[in-house]
Structure 1
Amino acid sequence: MASEAISIDKEVLIGDILMRQLRGQAPLINDPLLDEYLQDLGNRLVANAENVKFPFKFFLINSADINAFAFFGGHVGIHTGLIFSADNESELASVLAHEIAHVTQRHIARKIQAQQKASPLQLASLFGGLLLAIANPEAGIAAVSATNAASQQASINYTRSNEKEADRIGIDVLAQSGYDPDAAASFFGKLAEKYRLRSTPFAYLMTHPLPQSRIADARSRAASYNVRQVSERLSFHLAKARIIARYYGNPKDNITQFEFALDKKRYVFEQAAAYGLALSYLGAEQYSKAQEIIDRLREKDPENLFYIDTATDIALAEKRFDDAITMLKEEAKRAPRNRVITLNLANALLEKGDVEASILILKDYLLVNPNNMLALQLLSDAYAKSRQMLEMHQSKAEIYALVAAYPRAIDELHTAYNFANERPLEKQRIKARIDQFRSEIDRLKSL
């Protein structure tokens, strides 16, 4: 049992620590739209998985590498290159389902159990190597494998066993969630074909070995399910267009790319190609062209968050703050807790200069979502604009804590304390939070 090596509680604790460190080392994307899309997709798969011990957290890294990874406590990371390379949502879902299986089967904990006889130094190296493997697969694999030849071979064999189990469970989760079970084999085949033309393997293949037998096994397993036609989902293609327009290339080249796709009808959804073009026009500061496209898209799909978000950005770029705020307040009545609408509204109010209204929204949002980096950054900016120095330093402390920079967080709180003056209750809160951060430092050392 994996629980003999590491408890569920400790796995959650280590996962939280690694996630904080990862925020400080990797180019995570804090994009409410893409966050919501990825979390919704992941939750759909998790709902059909077994042995789920904790909530899953899906996040995006800005990297052209074709890669995905899972680690302690239900954290699953996806590189933008993976979404860019997937042709449909079933292919993307197949990778997420595979990573979910790694977590539910507790493969990392089982690896630790298999190495229980190793020295503490080797286990410490394994943790360090794990984090490296997340941020840089080549360096991470080297760190994890830096032992004697026999244990290297055992590690490889154990990885193959994990991959086979994750494939089996992942394909079942994929099928149970309404996706094409053959998507895993089709995506594996695509990676293998692309790898054949490269001198170095994709990042995904560094952590997920892909022998031909694995592709054949995936095809055979998928064949045991009823053949199904899975409808394409617009949201996947909108997310992919957003990644291309915002995180790939430059606005001028992206305009050319999306105009060509629309002219030659090389798209799955015309709306997604048009949306990508609108974002590219926005990036090139051609606001009227972007607005014309978004207006046309919203006529047919007025509640689509991708379009609402871009309409907001255009309005703010043109300093039409009231237009953006009016639109977002109407949307907030329909979806009061939606992260895209809430954070856009807070930002629009802040841009207009209605700082107190923005602060109220952000504080309310952070009560439910305390680890949202974007919300904390907006809140810190709002406090700075209104010269609320105590609160600004407190919010900065929380930002540092999210990246495990606890000494800097404590420094911010010491500065905040100096602004507390005749506010004894606030001084007590600051002292208590400093004690919590010091406990986190001790807890890091104990691992």
Structure 2
Amino acid sequence: MKFSVKKPRILVSCALVALCAAGAANSMAQQNKNRLPEIGTSATSTLSLDKERIYGDAMMRQVRASMPLIQDPVLIEYINHLGNSLVRNAEDVNYQFDFFLVNNKEINAFAFFGGHIGVHSGLLTMADNESELASVLAHEIAHVTQRHLARKLEAQSKTMPWTLAGMVTGVLLALVNPEAGMAALSAANAAGAQAGINYTRSNEKEADRVGMSILVNSGFDPNGAPDFFKKMSAKYRYTSKPPAMLLTHPLPDSRITDSRNRAQAYPSRLLPASLEFELAKARLRARYQGDAKDNITNFKAELKREQFQYREAGEYGLALSYFANEEYSEAEVLLTGLLGKYPNNLFFVDAMTDTYLEQKKYSQALTMLERLNLLMPNNQVVTLNYANSAIYAGEYELATNLLQDFLILNPDHFIAYDLLTEVYRKQEKPSQMHASQAEVYALLGLYPKAIDELHTAYNFASEQTLMKKRIKARIVQFQERENQLKRL
């Protein structure tokens, strides 16, 4: 599914982060009599788990509005499947984890409150195998389960409690935008800054240890971690500007050695290459990097030299490059062969759906997706492609039913609400359209805009309808969410 997010043109400030900071400061002042242990997962003297969830939700809405997220159901499905396969083998899991991809060639990954983990596309394309990628995700999962962000705030507050609010802002910025965050942190005094560095190294050591356990217990090769560390060290050893990941995840030689020693304590696993991983890398290259014509040339050359772990990944990348170059028949030929081998592979299904739609072969797309919808109901790749195909075919009621059912189980799904807004627009249902658009704004943390949309939806709704009652209730909910941050 080729999806383009229609975001409002806004300049996002750190207002939500500041609100989070104020809440953290108040919480610390009320509870600082409880001493934080230096190890373990507790950090309740600074933040409760409930407050972490609230802050994490607020941060995620800001991230959606301000960062170039890859709103791609296929890649979202892949990274969440991989990430949650690791979470299942982690301890002290207090949240439902959410993994997302940022369209950025910088090598970086970060975790923040509430189990939200972001991965830059450049990190995925740099990894040579799935164990390397999994090692980074496991490390970030460990940061969350060990509550390192809350513990860092507690450690900083011991040396400079009067700057806790600014420290929250700086730490969160450092995770999402390392250069800006490090500049904010540099304003702290020298003693506090040194304490922060030491605590970060302690966090990294613990996350490496816990992450290795998660990686091994999930069936991946333990050498994925030291191999990735070694690769990063070699690549950036002599560069004046390190990648974003090394600003927030220092990589001294001792850490690489420790990782290698830790991996040697486990049996090495010679795992076969992952087709899904190879397809994800090919998709990123073909859809988010380079020029379509250049990509066609490169994929053809690499296929000729047999450079792919799976030839299917090269053919898939070539098909996507043909599609991007509007050579739809060539793309269809390749995808037909791939689907013949893997009829339920969602990477291929998604690409074939787009190819059918561009050629106005709506019935073929709907037939293919109807079968898969029975096989995988409410799978985001199948459902969103099915609904999108129904929109193209003018079957708006089908699209509406699919999306409404999907949103019952996935109430914060940005793409689904954006598609539903489009369906209502085509159906000329202004009340429902504005109500759906309000949900899109809310997921970007723009509650005033969301409330304005709901007022417009209310004005279009018929008198004394259930729709009006629902709109009024939703306005109250959005007002309460906005006020909740202010009260913390």
TM-score interval, smaller chain: over 0.9
Q: Contact 2:46 / 2:150 at 8 angstroms: preserved in 1?
A: yes
Separation in structure 2 between the aligned mates of residue 216 and residue 283 of structure 1, nearest angstrom:
44
Alignment of 1:379-390 (within 5 A): 379-390=420-431
1:412 has 2:463 as partner: no
Alpha-carbon displacement from aligned partner over 1:233-265 (angstroms, at most 9, x marks no partner): 100000000000000011111111111110111
Separation in structure 2 between the aligned mates of residue 71 and residue 437 of structure 1, nearest angstrom:
23
User: What is the match of residue 310 of structure 1?
Assistant: 351
- The residue type equivalent to 2:62 in the other structure is Q
Residue 353 of structure 1 aligns to a residue in which SS?
A: coil
User: What is the match of residue 192 of structure 1?
Assistant: 233
User: What is the match of residue 409 of structure 2?
Assistant: 368
Decide which moves more: 142-151 or 270-279.
142-151
Residue 4 of structure 1 aligns to a residue in which SS?
A: coil
Higher relative contact order, chain-length normalized (CA < 8 Å, sep 6+): 2
User: What is the match of residue 78 of structure 1?
Assistant: 119
- The residue type equivalent to 2:466 in the other structure is L
User: What is the match of residue 149 of structure 2?
Assistant: 108
Separation in structure 1 between the aligned mates of residue 186 and residue 172 of structure 2, nearest angstrom:
14
1:298 has 2:329 as partner: no
Separation in structure 2 between the aligned mates of residue 347 and residue 118 of structure 1, nearest angstrom:
54
Q: Contact 1:325 / 1:349 at 8 angstroms: preserved in 2?
A: yes
The correspondence for 1:342, drawn from 383, 396, 404, is: 383
- The residue type equivalent to 1:425 in the other structure is L
User: What is the match of residue 319 of structure 1?
Assistant: 360
Separation in structure 1 between the aligned mates of residue 162 and residue 302 of structure 2, nearest angstrom:
54
Q: Contact 1:25 / 1:135 at 8 angstroms: preserved in 2?
A: no
User: What is the match of residue 428 of structure 1?
Assistant: 469
Alpha-carbon displacement from aligned partner over 1:319-361 (angstroms, at most 9, x marks no partner): 1111100110011111112111111000000011111110111
User: What is the match of residue 163 of structure 2?
Assistant: 122
- The residue type equivalent to 1:317 in the other structure is E
User: What is the match of residue 48 of structure 1?
Assistant: 89
Structure 1 unaligned regions, length at least 5: none
1:142 has 2:180 as partner: no
Alpha-carbon displacement from aligned partner over 1:267-289 (angstroms, at most 9, x marks no partner): 11111011000000000011111
Alignment of 1:255-294 (within 5 A): 255-294=296-335
User: What is the match of residue 94 of structure 1?
Assistant: 135
1:202 has 2:243 as partner: yes
What TM-score results when the alignment is normalised by the length of structure 2?
Answer: 0.89
1:182 has 2:216 as partner: no
User: What is the match of residue 27 of structure 1?
Assistant: 68
User: What is the match of residue 17 of structure 2?
Assistant: none
* CA gap 1:402/1:118 in 2 versus in 1, 3 angstroms: farther
Q: Contact 2:157 / 2:163 at 8 angstroms: preserved in 1?
A: no
Separation in structure 2 between the aligned mates of residue 118 and residue 150 of structure 1, nearest angstrom:
8
Q: Contact 1:46 / 1:52 at 8 angstroms: preserved in 2?
A: yes
Separation in structure 1 between the aligned mates of residue 474 and residue 160 of structure 2, nearest angstrom:
35
CA drift of 1:423 comes to 3.2
Separation in structure 2 between the aligned mates of residue 246 and residue 121 of structure 1, nearest angstrom:
47
Poorly superposed stretches of 4+, deviation over 6 Å = 118-121
Q: Contact 1:28 / 1:61 at 8 angstroms: preserved in 2?
A: yes
Separation in structure 1 between the aligned mates of residue 91 and residue 184 of structure 2, nearest angstrom:
32
Separation in structure 1 between the aligned mates of residue 160 and residue 202 of structure 2, nearest angstrom:
24
CA drift of 1:117 comes to 4.6
* CA gap 1:43/1:106 in 2 versus in 1, 3 angstroms: same
Decide which moves more: 128-137 or 184-193.
128-137
Residue 59 of structure 1 aligns to a residue in which SS?
A: strand
The correspondence for 1:38, drawn from 79, 83, 87, is: 79
CA drift of 1:434 comes to 1.3
Separation in structure 1 between the aligned mates of residue 220 and residue 273 of structure 2, nearest angstrom:
10
What TM-score results when the alignment is normalised by the length of structure 1?
Answer: 0.98
Q: Contact 1:69 / 1:76 at 8 angstroms: preserved in 2?
A: yes
User: What is the match of residue 217 of structure 1?
Assistant: 258
Q: Contact 2:175 / 2:248 at 8 angstroms: preserved in 1?
A: no
Separation in structure 2 between the aligned mates of residue 284 and residue 121 of structure 1, nearest angstrom:
57
User: What is the match of residue 284 of structure 2?
Assistant: 243
CA drift of 1:32 comes to 0.9
* CA gap 1:120/1:2 in 2 versus in 1, 3 angstroms: same
Residue 58 of structure 1 aligns to a residue in which SS?
A: strand
Structure 2 unaligned regions, length at least 5: 1-41
Alignment of 1:49-64 (within 5 A): 49-64=90-105
Separation in structure 2 between the aligned mates of residue 21 and residue 129 of structure 1, nearest angstrom:
15
Q: Contact 2:52 / 2:114 at 8 angstroms: preserved in 1?
A: yes
User: What is the match of residue 35 of structure 2?
Assistant: none
Q: Contact 1:64 / 1:81 at 8 angstroms: preserved in 2?
A: yes
- The residue type equivalent to 1:286 in the other structure is E
Separation in structure 2 between the aligned mates of residue 31 and residue 265 of structure 1, nearest angstrom:
28
Residue 55 of structure 1 aligns to a residue in which SS?
A: coil
User: What is the match of residue 442 of structure 1?
Assistant: 483
1:165 has 2:206 as partner: yes
CA drift of 1:127 comes to 2.9
1:133 has 2:133 as partner: no
Separation in structure 1 between the aligned mates of residue 177 and residue 430 of structure 2, nearest angstrom:
38
- The residue type equivalent to 2:255 in the other structure is R
- The residue type equivalent to 1:181 in the other structure is P
User: What is the match of residue 154 of structure 1?
Assistant: 195
Percent identity, aligned pairs only, is 54
Separation in structure 2 between the aligned mates of residue 388 and residue 127 of structure 1, nearest angstrom:
44
